[in-house]
Structure 1
């Protein structure tokens, strides 16, 4: 498991023009943001762990490498890319890595799709799409929006894990 970069994040947002004289409202907002950031990072780590499991099952090395990059992108967008006060946009590289065509893997070079169980493709797409939305939460109500997205990311990850346990045939 990688060390979270949350401790290095600037958590104070200049979007709050009115502060309570004792700073209580600002401190409460800061605590809510910090809790939401940690929750998002935990959900991203769990999703990345599942995607690494998918990567480890691949017979084609290229599919495995691609899924490992996806896992790293999940960790990055659920932690280091959520920066209060930023523009909330992903880099082109992260957008490309988390695009829905992740389920095709490196099929353009291998000639085959990644080895995924029935029912894993949709959760994989959902995990990538939900995680890609995390950084944009800095433009709205960060704690509330991150909580919703973290819940959905956990649900999609759980669905992907459950799909691997379904009987085949």
Structure 2
């Protein structure tokens, strides 16, 4: 287990809370950017659902909580944190929740989360892709966010396939 540089996990803001700089007018957005934002949100919700399912099957509740925090962070990073006109930075508590702890579990347990080998790589990919999404607002948001959303969807599909394979074998 690695120990996080933070002594305790930061608390996530409520899922419905708006980003402080989310003062943009959705109606004024370019249609391609708006479509990319919706695509990212949908991909993030699907990915978070898979991560929640992983968390729900953990016999150690602390590992389940780590995965639940990761699911919440994926949703926020792919939606509320993607703010056109924003600074493109991911909030510290989200970076923490999307870090290696999703694979290593809660540090104080001295055990690993119950994940199949085929689930680990998609889980890392889902977290990394979600963490990259807020930065897309600085470059070419429609193109970059669409690419990341599509890859997030592919990583989630690979995760579901790994879960299904483990359950059938």
**Global fold match (TM > 0.5):** yes
Kindly indicate whether residue 65 of structure 2 is the aligned counterpart of residue 65 of structure 1.
Answer: yes
Residue 55 (structure 1) aligned with residue 69 (structure 2): no
* Residue 34 of structure 1, CA deviation: 0.9
What is the Cα deviation at residue 134 of structure 1?
A: 0.3
Shift of 1:59: 0.2
Residue 152 (structure 2) aligns with? 153
Aligned to 1:10: 24
> 1:32: how far off?
1.0
**C-alpha distance 97-128 of structure 1, shift in aligned 2 (>3 A):** same
2: CA distance, partners of 1:44 / 1:9: 21
Q: Which residue of 2 aligns with 1:102?
A: 102
On the 8 A contact 1:11/1:33 being kept in 2, the answer is no
The reply on whether 1:127 has 2:134 as its aligned counterpart is no
Q: Counterpart in 2 of 1:78?
A: 78
Distance 1:167 1:33, change over 3 A: closer
State whether residues 11 and 83 of structure 1, in contact with CA within 8 Å, keep that contact through their aligned partners in structure 2: no
Aligned equivalents of 1:5, 1:40: Cα separation in 2: 16
Deviations 1:77-128 (A, max 9, x none): 111001111110011111111113320011x211110011221011101000
CA distance in 2 between counterparts of 1:79 and 1:146 reads: 11
Q: Which runs of 5+ in 1 are unaligned?
A: 13-26
TM-score of the superposed pair, with normalisation by structure 1: 0.82
Which digits, 9 at most, give the CA deviation of each residue in 1:39-65, with x for residues without a partner?
000000000000000010000000011
Distance 1:4 1:141 in 2: 26
Q: Contact 2:103–2:112 at 8 Å: present in 1 too?
A: yes
Deviation at 1:167, TM superposition (A): 4.5
Distance 2:161 2:23 in 1: 34
Aligned 8 A contact 2:66 2:101 in 1: no
Larger radius of gyration: 1
Distance 1:118 1:153 in 2: 19
- Residues 48 and 97 of structure 1: CA distance in aligned 2, closer, same or farther (over 3 Å): same
1:100/1:129 contact within 8 Å kept:
no
TM-superposed CA distance for 1:131, in Å, is 0.4
TM-score by length of 2: 0.82
